[in-house]
Amino acid sequence: MSAVAERDALVEQAEFDAFVVARSKVLLKTAWLLTGDWQLAEDLVQTALAKTYLAWDRIRDDGDVEPYVHRVLFTTYVTWWRRRWRGERPAGELPENPERDDPYARADLRDALVEALAALPPRQRAVVVLRYYCDLSEADTARALGCGVGTVKSQAAKALARLRDSALAESIQEGTPP
């Protein structure tokens, strides 16, 4: 490898590392909402980032990194879901961080949310996470999921309707500070 190519490779690696450091926590939280399990979330994020790394040259030049990672994250998630990872029951405990408010209410809310999200079909779940957690617009959500804006709207409406009928709605009402 020539000196120039070696330098370019190092620069590329440094850029990628900086991106990973900057975005990995958000991606990990997003993956946790999708999977409900830390180990699977880490696997999902690592896989999505590894695929991104392989395409880094192309997407970096296009300035398309963030949407690309989201797209890979969600397509990988849907692929895994189709391959029946949903049969797994996480045996480890969910992390408990220092709580500033009522820890029991928050734990109840977390359980209710994980259960409610798990009951949604994968695409509806992805729409909920992208729209209401990642704060993506309907157009960006559609781009990430590879579907139309109309599909995002209808999937979001269906997901909200299902969540309103779940125990989550009650937990949110109970857990909302006055």
Partner 1 sequence: MSRLTEDDLVAALHRIVPEPGDLLELPAAVRQRARGMRARRRAAGAAGLVALAVGAGVLGPALLGGAPDSTVVPARGATSPATTTPTPSGTPSWVLSTPTPEAGTVLVTLRARPLRLPALAPGARCPVSAGRTFPRGPRMFSARFTAVGTGPVYLAPGPTVTFEFPPSPGSIGEGSGWSAAKVGWVVRSPYAGPMLIRGRRLDGPQELRFDRYLGEYLYGQGGPRPDPDMAYRDSSDAKQLRVYLGELRLRSPGCYAVQVDGSTATGAPVRETIVFRAEVARR
Footprint on this chain of partner 1 (rule: CB under 8 A): 13, 16-17, 20-21, 24-25, 28-29, 32-33, 38-40, 43-47, 49-51, 53-54, 76, 79-80, 83-97, 106, 109-110, 113, 128-129, 132-133, 135, 160, 163-165, 168-170, 172-173, 175-176
Q: CB of 80: closest distance to partner 1 in angstroms?
A: 5
Q: CB of 46: closest distance to partner 1 in angstroms?
A: 5
DSSP 93-138: PPP-PPPSS-HHHHHHHHHHHHHHHHTS-HHHHHHHIIIIIS---H
Q: CB of 39: closest distance to partner 1 in angstroms?
A: 6
- Residue 45 or 126 having the CB closest to partner 1: 45
> CA-to-CA distance for 71 and 75, rounded, in angstroms?
6
> CA-to-CA distance for 177 and 126, rounded, in angstroms?
27
- Residue 116 or 145 having the CB closest to partner 1: 116
Q: CB of 75: closest distance to partner 1 in angstroms?
A: 12
Reported for 23-28, long-range contacts at CB under 8 A and 24+ positions apart, including other chains, are 23/66, 23/69, 24/49, 26/134, 27/69, 27/73
